[in-house]
Structure 1
Amino acid sequence: MTDRELDAAGITDPALRTAYTRCRALNARHGKTYFLATRLLPPEHRPAVHALYGFARWADDIVDDLDDRATTADRRHALDLLQRRLESGLRHGDSPEPVVRALAHTAARYGIDHRHFTDFMASMRSDLVVTDYPTLADLRRYMHGSAAVIGLQMLPVLGTVVPRETAEPHAAALGIAFQLTNFLRDVGEDLDRGRVYLPADLLAAHGVDRELLLWSRATGRRDPRITEALHAAAGLTRGVYRQAAPGLPMLAPVSRPCIRTAFVLYGGILDAVRDDGYAVLHRRAVVPRRRRAAVALQGLAQVTAARARAAHDRHPPPVPLGVTRYSQQKVAR
């Protein structure tokens, strides 16, 4: 993390600066799309976002990437240890573990509800034993902890122009939309891990089951039923984006370009999946670099405009000598 970001956030303690820097590295390594969007936030907000996403990525690593030789018992033990450190860190506002230290500092600073972290850890634990979801309702219960709460954690950091509870359903929907996008893009990779995140009832409606997915993954052959099911999953995901969209203008103006950019970039992943013929069982769909750059530049322009408006509101131009407030209002009319 740059010193400028840490200085802007008023983070001076050396150990805490190291902790936030570690979280930034986790976010940059794993979440390239959202990391790019995060660069559009005011510098003073970025460390908190890195802490929230860094912790989430760290826990996800325990579940999926700890070590190819790690057993389920090993992963459960690592999650148990993380859970204890998390609870202690949130209780005391500090931790010897750097990632938890940054998270605890962020949670205390922004008053983030600790239940969001408890729900997140519950979903991480379920990944150790749950390998598929019979219905969309089952999947939604999982995604509350794995995705919706991430949006809810972010709201206090981003700020809102409406009461926070008004924006919360849309923030939760955006977290779910992002995760559904990842599920669609990563169908093949998740299948290799023994998991199917697309709900079985949606797949069955198009004549698809796990065995057909495994056959397609193993042989590299396509099946129109799979294409139809993935198209339906994309349609479901776009519907969740529509639920999330009204929340964008509810955010603080300086935060909107970041989240709007993430909104567009993740939606672009759905477009890439479609344009590649829903071949996600055989290769990962990628948003072209030029498209990512164009969206980022548009977001940067929005950031510049938002900061200019904020600066104007804080420091309006002086009233010229001899011009009264009444005469200004009269001219304005």
Structure 2
Amino acid sequence: MPSWRTTLTAAGVSRPRLRDDYTHAARRVRRREPAPYLALRLLAAPPLVPALAAGLAFMNLVDDVAETGTPHQRAAGLAALSERVAAALESGDSPDPLLRAYAHAVDSRGLPPHWVTRFLEGAATAEAGFDGFAAEEDFQAYLDAYAWPGVLVFAGLQYQGGPGAEQAAGWRRFVDAAQRVDFLADLRGDLAEGRLCIPRARLDEHSVTRADLEQARDTPAVRALLTAECRRARTALDAAHGILGLAEPGLRPVVTTMTELMAHQLTAVERAGVTALRRDTGYGLAAPLRILVRAARRRPV
């Protein structure tokens, strides 16, 4: 793995202040999401790493603002952040080093700003005002408004000029699978925070109540519901396999790792059954390390 200084140079980041900005963004990702950070550093082509690290830091920043505080605080925080982001993208400058790095990444990689705008708008509506899903259609609307542009403000930076229609559609399929797996893995934590992320219509189909899930009742109906949700997630994950061929060669080892980690986590949820309602299902330590090592060995030198 090349040093961070060498990586910045490989990406054409030469100005001292800008190098510091990208370093600030990368450190934020390393603190908040060490596994994705390590995957980027170990597996992605060095010229892509700084921009992608800044993109991931930006995505996390928006997520944090959208999920913190009262509804009023979330709305106010996102409105203020949107103004700062718009100013940074327009001028290329900001008092915030993270936004300076991200604005440079968007400009240098040619990511269409409408993905950033859509993500911020979705954060203010679909995420900050989240009240669950009545049916599958509402889940799909959430993906379109928030999760899909959210992944493209980060992953879209791999493409010079931004993702084309086929590439964007591939990431839409990917995020459908990723969000389903994430919701299942975080069932316990989400319920504890008052978030029910399984569409209410599907609870009704299985004669399951919200209280059944909150109290982790081990009943045939609850088990059937969780099995059906895992099956949906598995189908979505199978449909997302084509994303590897749509990724830039320099990011394919990372995409492979992300997909394998999702599959591992979904398998853990499937095995957990009703236990997934009693504790969240993480990656663990051994499996991510094993997947990373295997991916690093496969990576072209």
User: TM-score if structure 1 supplies the norm length?
Assistant: 0.81
Select the structure of larger CA radius of gyration.
Answer: 1
Does the residue aligned with 1:21 lie in a helix, a strand or coil?
Answer: helix
Query: C-alpha offsets along residues 16-38 of structure 1, whole Å, 9 cap, x if unaligned?
Result: 22322232233223334433332
Give distance in 2, aligned partners of 1:43 and 1:278: 42
Q: Residues 5-16 of structure 1 correspond to what in structure 2 (within 5 A)? A: 5-16=7-18
Give distance in 2, aligned partners of 1:8 and 1:75: 38
1:23 and 2:25 aligned: yes
Give distance in 1, aligned partners of 2:53 and 2:208: 38
Q: Residues 151-230 of structure 1 correspond to what in structure 2 (within 5 A)? A: 151-154=151-154, 156-159=156-159, 164-216=164-216, 221-230=217-226
**1:115/1:213 CA distance change after superposition, 3 Å:** same
**1:36/1:236 CA distance change after superposition, 3 Å:** farther
**1:289/1:101 CA distance change after superposition, 3 Å:** same
**1:74/1:150 CA distance change after superposition, 3 Å:** closer
Does the Cα contact within 8 Å between 2:52 and 2:155 map onto a contact in 1?
A: no
Correspondence for 2:75: 76
Does the residue aligned with 2:250 lie in a helix, a strand or coil?
Answer: coil
1:48 and 2:51 aligned: yes
Q: Residues 1-333 of structure 1 correspond to what in structure 2 (within 5 A)? A: 2-39=4-41, 40-64=43-67, 66=68, 70-126=69-125, 127-154=127-154, 156-159=156-159, 164-216=164-216, 221-303=217-299, 305=300, 307=301
Query: C-alpha offsets along residues 198-221 of structure 1, whole Å, 9 cap, x if unaligned?
Result: 2112222222232322233xxxx4
Kindly state the Cα deviation for residue 133 of structure 1 after the two structures are TM-superposed.
Answer: 0.8
Give distance in 1, aligned partners of 2:223 and 2:4: 44
What 5-or-longer segments of structure 2 have no aligned partner? none
Does the residue aligned with 1:277 lie in a helix, a strand or coil?
Answer: helix
Kindly state the Cα deviation for residue 13 of structure 1 after the two structures are TM-superposed.
Answer: 2.6
Does the Cα contact within 8 Å between 1:170 and 1:243 map onto a contact in 2?
A: no
Query: C-alpha offsets along residues 172-216 of structure 1, whole Å, 9 cap, x if unaligned?
Result: 211232222111111121122221122112222222232322233
Give distance in 1, aligned partners of 2:194 and 2:88: 33
Give distance in 2, aligned partners of 1:158 and 1:262: 15
Does the Cα contact within 8 Å between 2:226 and 2:273 map onto a contact in 1?
A: no
Query: Displaced runs of 4+ in structure 1, greater than 4 A?
Result: none
Count of residue correspondences? 295
What is the RMSD of the two structures over their aligned residues, measured on CA atoms? 2.2
Give distance in 1, aligned partners of 2:118 and 2:232: 24
Does the Cα contact within 8 Å between 1:151 and 1:174 map onto a contact in 2?
A: no
Give distance in 2, aligned partners of 1:228 and 1:94: 53
What 5-or-longer segments of structure 1 have no aligned partner? 308-333
Q: Which amino acid aligns with 1:41?
A: A
Does the Cα contact within 8 Å between 1:159 and 1:255 map onto a contact in 2?
A: no
User: TM-score if structure 2 supplies the norm length?
Assistant: 0.89
Q: Which amino acid aligns with 2:174?
A: L
Kindly state the Cα deviation for residue 258 of structure 1 after the two structures are TM-superposed.
Answer: 1.0
Which range is displaced more, 261-270 or 203-212?
A: 203-212
